[in-house]
Amino acid sequence: MGQVVLKDINKFYDSVHAVIDVNLQIRDKEFVVFVGPSGCGKTTTLRMIAGLEAISSGDISIDGHVVNDLAPMDRDIAMVFQNYALYPHMSVYDNMAFGLKMRKFAKAEINKRVREAADILGIGEYLKRKPRQLSGGQRQRVALGRAIVRHPRVFLFDEPLSNLDAKLRVQMRVELKKLHLRLGTTAVYVTHDQVEAMTLGDRVVVMKDGLVQQVGEPLELYNQPANKFVAGFIGSPAMNFATVTMADGSGRLTAKNSGMEIEVPSTHAERLRPHVGRQLTMGIRPEDLHVAGDADPAGLTFPSKIEVIEQLGSEILLDVRVGDETMVAAVDPTTRAKVQETLRLAVNPKRLHFFDAKSEAAI
C-alpha cells in the first residue's frame, strides 16, 4: 500500500509563501509527477512529504496515518536525490545496504535484497566499487537501487535525471517507467522537464508560484489546459498565443487581430459568445497548424511570413510572423518553404484554445 494524501498544505519561509493550499490524493501504485518552473514549490512539496521540511499548516497522511510529526525514517519512504547523494566512502553494496542495516535486517536478507535490486538495475558487477569509480548513469542506478532495496511504501524522486546527458536521460526515463510497472510502488516525481512529466506520470501536477495550476492525466493537460500557464508549459514546442478580439459578424463568431480572422467553430461558440467585443488570448499548438490546402475553408486560414526554418527531420518548424505576432508551426517534413516567403497556414478548428486576457483561465 502507498496512498498519500495532501490536505491544505502550506509552507512559509519567513515572509515567502512557498507552497499554497495544496490538496492532492495520490492513489496506491500511482506515478504522480510534480512539474513547474524552478521556485514553483514542487521540490518543497516533495520534501514535506519526505519529512525533510516541516509543514507550516495542513496534513500529510500516508495510508491513512497523519505523518506530519514523524521523522523521515519513520515514514517508510525512499528518496532519490538530484545529485544522487551516494555515500562517497562506501562501496556500491554498502550504499544499497545502509538503509537495511540501519533497520536491523538480517545479513542474509540484506544480501538477498541488494543482489536482487542490483540484478534489476544491471549493476551487479559494480557492487564492490566506490561511487567515484562509476559513470553518471551507473551512479543513478545505485541511487535507485538504494531506494528499491527498502521496499518502501512510496518512492520520492527529486529531479533524478537532470544531471544526466540528454541521451542517457531518455534511456533512464524508459527504465524508470519499466521499473515502476514492475514494482508497482507509489511514486512521487519532481521535474522541471515537461517531457519527463508527460511520459512518466499517470497524473501530472502542474505548479507555479506555490499554487497547483492543474492536476490531470498527461493528455488531459495537453488537450484541456486549465489556464494559459499550463497550456504554455505542456507541449513542445510551446503553444502559440495571440491576442484576439471576439467579433460577431452575422451570426458567425470570429477571433480577429491584425494578422488573421479565424472563424470560431460552433463547438466553442456557446462559451465564447458572452465575450464578444472583448480581447481574449487565443492559443494554437504548433502541431495544430498546417500549410493550407484546397480543402481548408478560407475562414480557418491566414497568411504568414516565414522568418526562420528549423529542419528537425521528422517535421519542420517554421517561425512565422502573423500580423504583429510571431508563431511557430510544425509542418510536414515534405513542405518546401523559403525564408521571407509568404505562406498560408490553416488551423485545426477543434483544437483552438481560448483564455481570459486577465485571469488567464481557459474559457
**Min CB(25)–other proteins separation in Å:** 23
Nearer to other proteins, 106 or 295 (CB): 106
- Residues 285 and 304: beta-carbon distance below 8 Å: no
Which CB, 79 or 172, lies closer to other proteins?
Answer: 79
Smallest separation (angstroms) from other proteins to the CB of 270: 51
Taking the complex as a whole, how short is the minimal distance between the CB of residue 14 and other proteins, in angstroms? Answer: 13
| Cβ-contact 262, 323 below 8 angstroms | no
Which residues in this chain contact other proteins in the complex, by CB under 8 A?
50-52, 71-73, 75, 77-79, 81-89, 98-99, 102-103, 131-132, 139, 146, 150
The CA distance from 131 to 142, in Å, is: 8
Residues 106, 71: Cα–Cα separation, whole Å: 23
Output the smallest distance, CB 73 to other proteins, in A: 4
What is the number of other CB atoms lying within 10 angstroms of the CB of residue 249?
Answer: 10
Nearer CB in complex with other proteins: 73/181: 73
Coil, helix or strand at residue 55: coil
Q: How far is the CB of 62 from other proteins (least distance, A)?
A: 13
| Distance, CA of 337 to CA of 340 (rounded, Å) | 9
* 105 vs 125: CA distance, rounded Å: 23
Question: Which CB sits closer to other proteins, 57 or 83?
Answer: 83
Residue nearer to other proteins on the CB measure, 13 or 122: 13
> Which residues pair with residue 255 across a beta bridge?
246, 262
Whether 95 and 86 have beta carbons less than 8 Å apart is answered as yes
